[in-house]
Structures are given as structure tokens and as C-alpha cells.
Amino acid sequence: MQPEQLQPAQLRPVPGTEPTARARMTRRRWVAAVSVGSTLLAVAGFAASQVIKSPAQAAADTKPPAADVLTAPVERRVLKETVVLRGTVAAGQSVTVAPVASGGEGAAEPVVTKLPVNAGDTIRAGQLLLEVSGRPVFVLRGELPVYRDLKPGAKGDDVAQLQNALRNLGHGTGNDPSGTFRAGTKAALQAFYAGLGYDPRPALDDDGEAVKAAEEGVRSAERALEQAQSAADAAAPSPSGTPADGEDGTDTGGDEGGGGDAEARRAVEWAQEDLQTARQNLADAQAAAGPMLPAGEVVFLPGFPARVDSVSGAVGARVTAGVMTVSAGKLVVRGYLQERQKGLVRSGQRVEILAERSGTTVPGKVRSVSETLDEGQEQDGISEDGSDGERAPAASQGYPVVVEPDKPLDRALAGQEVRLTVEAGSTDGKALVVPVTAVSMGSDGKSAVTVVAADGTQRRVQVRAGTQGDGYVAVVPVGTGRLDPGALVVTGIRQAPGGGA
């Protein structure tokens, strides 16, 4: 017999055991509220932990980080105060050749008609540099720059310079006194021009008329003297003491008392004076005539061989400015001092010249420092700490300085930049040296350094500061203070990163 199965419709819940829908909803809300509240309490607790600190923790967080003392050893050495700048290697004298061809009225504008040299060529004394409108421009040895035409009769040091230059080229100046342009110098100049293949310009542009006129004056004076002498001879008394008579017995001579004879003698004296004057005029005309050296046809350089630095002209070009630049003499270094450097550099100071491309150093000295500000120059420099490869800001002005090397520089350095280190000052032998930052001034106005012992204790030593250079200063202990080489002195305080956190 099978048990009786109940249909679903017959199943009924036990009264009081079935939850209502409202109860279930209330239970869920309560669980969510508890969960949200727990989360909020956790967040609030974390925030409070970040904001609220104990007094001990707050004091620890706000105290300064631990200090770290910076020290440097005391040195014993020669201290040099230096000035560092840049310079350019150049010849001792550089000349821009800007000739002006002379000519008479209606002469054409000068043009370059021959240019036998090129940039970089080596030139010698007496060599032709160029030709302008058919006239030569050559170079001679001499230190004085040309400033006037040199003509016969001229005197001065520039004439002596020309005479020396001609003699060095094998053209003797005869018996001419040094510094006087006379016949011997004229002959030497004539021969020099002939060697170049040119005729020198005449000192007098009159085709020799002055000399011709003077020569004619001498001839006239000589004839006048002959006539006066003949008249005087005719008026002279005869051996019998009476004037000479003609064949017919008439009086052909003077008058009574010998008046005619005296007048004839005066005429001879005047004729002699006139002849002397005419001869002097001729001598003057001859002295003034002859070849001259125009200022526009010569360039004087102090030494040879010389060098053509640049050529800006060309055959056929009009000469309106410099045609070329030539240089000669011992190579020097030219630089520019900034305003802050000028007071530290003076003539005679020692200099180290460093050719940075080759690493070669050459000692030298300051030859000159200009007192005049040269504006418009690009100033190249070194950083104030003197480090290699760092340039100071460019300046538009500077004071020219010339440095002369102790031994000749390599000619290949011409035109290159070099580094100059000028020894502006130094200690007298070895001295105690510390960084500038190690010296401080106390409330009493006295300078001192702070020495740090091995155990960290510190003591102040009063010092007297001396020469400074390259960030260091020479010091001398004062009183009973002791300062030994190798001792550590305080140079600053460094904050330890993250100290006390």
C-alpha cells in the first residue's frame, strides 16, 4: 500500500515560522549600515594617526637636521694670485697696406695692376708686394712707420732708417751723413728702383727746369765776370803810371784821378759775388733734384722673413681701402683685459702661455697694458674659477694687453687662440695656505680659522691674512695660536639630508 502523496497546494507553512518581506528588508539595511560605519571608523582612525602626534614625536620632527662640518687641510706652499684670459698669437707688428698712387691733375683712380704675392707667403726685405697704377709698393726693414715722402735734402731718423735698409740690400750711400738725404742716398735709391725694374719718381716734377735755369744763371754770371775783368784790365794804369792811350795818342782809359779804374774794380767784385750766388743756386737745385721715396710706395717692417696675413685686393680692383695685411717680428700674444682684471695686471709680470690644441706651454711676461679702453672688441675669457674649456660671458670692450714669450713661438701658432695665466702676485716663498672660506671675522673684528681636532673638538686660531689667489689665502698665526700644515680647518656647514626625521 503506497503512502499518500500530498500536492503542493496542500502544503502550508507552520503558523509563525514564515518571515515577512518587511522583516527581511530591515535586516539587510542593518547589515549595510554596520559595514559602512566600520569603514568610516577605520578611515577616521588612520587620518587621526597622521594628524595627532605626541609631544615627543612633534619635537623630534621639528628639530633641525644634524649638521655636517666641512673641513679642508692647511697647506704649506707658494701661493700665486692669477688672472686668466684668452689671447691671439700675432706678429709683433702688423701693417695694413693701403697705398695711394700719386699723380697729377686728371689722374685716374688708382687700381691694382700687379699682385705677385698670396696670403700665407713669406716675404723678404726689398721684395715687391704689389703694383698700383704702374707704380711699385715694396717692403723694407725698419721700425719707424712711414709718415712722409723722403726727398733729397731731408733729414731725420726716417732718413737714417732708409739709408740702413738700402745698405743692407747692398746699395751703399757714399759719404752721406747718417740721417741726411744727399747724393750718396740718391744714387743708392736710384739703383734699388732699377733692380725692381722701375724708375723712381723725381723729387721735383719740373722735368729738370730748375737745374737748367740754375746752370744758365752760372753761365751768365761767368760771362759777366769776364766782361767786368776785361774792362778793369783796360782801365788799369800803364807801366808809366798813366792810363793807356790809343795809337793816335787819344785817351782810351780812365779819367783823371784814377776814378775809372776804381769803378772797374768794383764791377769785377760785383760780378764775382753774382757768380758765387749763381753757383750756390745751382748747388741747391742739384741737391733738391733727383729720386725721391714716396710714402705710398714703401712699407717698413721690423724683421724678416715676414708674412702675408691676408690679401683682399685683386688685379684690376680699385684701391679704396687696404689691399693686404702683412706682419713681421717676433710672435706675441694680444688679449683684452676686463675692467675687473685691469688693476691686477701690469708690465713685467710673469705669464704662462698655453696652446690648448697642442698642450704646449711657454713662459713669457706682460710687455704692455693699455690705459685706454678699446671698445667694440669681442672679449673671450675663462670662467672665474679658471676651469679649462669654460668661457666667461663675452664683453664688448677691453683693455689691450700684449704678452711677449721668453722664447720664440712656433710660427704655426700665428692666428690661433691661446690661454694666458698671468701671475698677478705670489707669496715670498712657501706659506701656510687655507681656503678663503676658512677665514672668518669675529665680533672683535679679528680674523681667525677654526681648527678641528681628531676627536671633533674645535678651537679658534687668530690669523693675519695675506696674498689671495685661486680661492686660497695665505695666513700667519697671531699670538700663541698654533696652525700646522695638515691640520683641518672648518670651511662651512653642510646640512645632512633627512637628518632627524
Model pLDDT for residues 283-293, shown as the tens digit of each residue: 887 778 889 99
Q: Is 447 exposed, middle or buried (0-12, 13-18, 19+ CB in 10 A)?
A: middle
- Comparing 164 with 61, the larger pLDDT belongs to 164
- Comparing 16 with 30, the larger pLDDT belongs to 30
Query: What integer best gives the mean pLDDT of the chain?
Result: 81
Residue-by-residue DSSP string for 261-282: HHHHHHHHHHHHHHHHHHHHHH
Model pLDDT for residues 174-220, shown as the tens digit of each residue: 999 999 999 999 999 999 999 999 999 998 887 778 878 888 888 98
CA angle 100, 103, 104 (to 5 degrees): 145
pLDDT of residue 385: 43
The confidence band for 6, taking pLDDT boundaries of 50, 70 and 90, is very low
Residue-by-residue DSSP string for 138-172: EEEE-SSPP-S-B-TT-BSHHHHHHHHHHHHTT--
Question: How much is the average pLDDT of 139-143?
Answer: 94
CA distance 236 to 230: 10
pLDDT of residue 52: 57
Q: Is 133 helix (H, G, I), strand (E, B) or coil?
A: coil
pLDDT of residue 18: 52
Model pLDDT for residues 118-130, shown as the tens digit of each residue: 988 989 999 999 9
Out of 29-33, 52-56, 97-101, 427-431, the most confident range is 427-431
Out of 9-13, 257-261, 362-366, 410-414, the most confident range is 362-366
Rounded to 10 deg, the angle between the 157-168 and 183-196 helix axes is: 50
Model pLDDT for residues 222-259, shown as the tens digit of each residue: 898 888 888 888 877 766 555 554 444 444 444 444 56
Residue 383 CB contacts under 8 Å (≥ 6 apart), including other chains: 390, 391, 392
Question: How much is the average pLDDT of 362-391?
Answer: 65
CA distance 393 to 340: 13
Question: How much is the average pLDDT of 400-417?
Answer: 89
pLDDT of residue 339: 86
Q: Is residue 396 within 8 Å of 443, Cβ to Cβ? A: no
Question: How much is the average pLDDT of 2-31?
Answer: 54
Per-residue pLDDT at 164 exceeds 80: yes
pLDDT of residue 375: 72
Count of Cβ atoms closer than 10 Å to residue 62 Cβ: 8
- Comparing 126 with 32, the larger pLDDT belongs to 126
CA angle 299, 305, 307 (to 5 degrees): 65
DSSP letter assigned to residue 437:
G
Out of 50-59, 262-271, 360-369, 442-451, the most confident range is 360-369
CA distance 415 to 88: 6
The confidence band for 381, taking pLDDT boundaries of 50, 70 and 90, is very low
Distance of CA 62 to the CA centre of its chain: 60
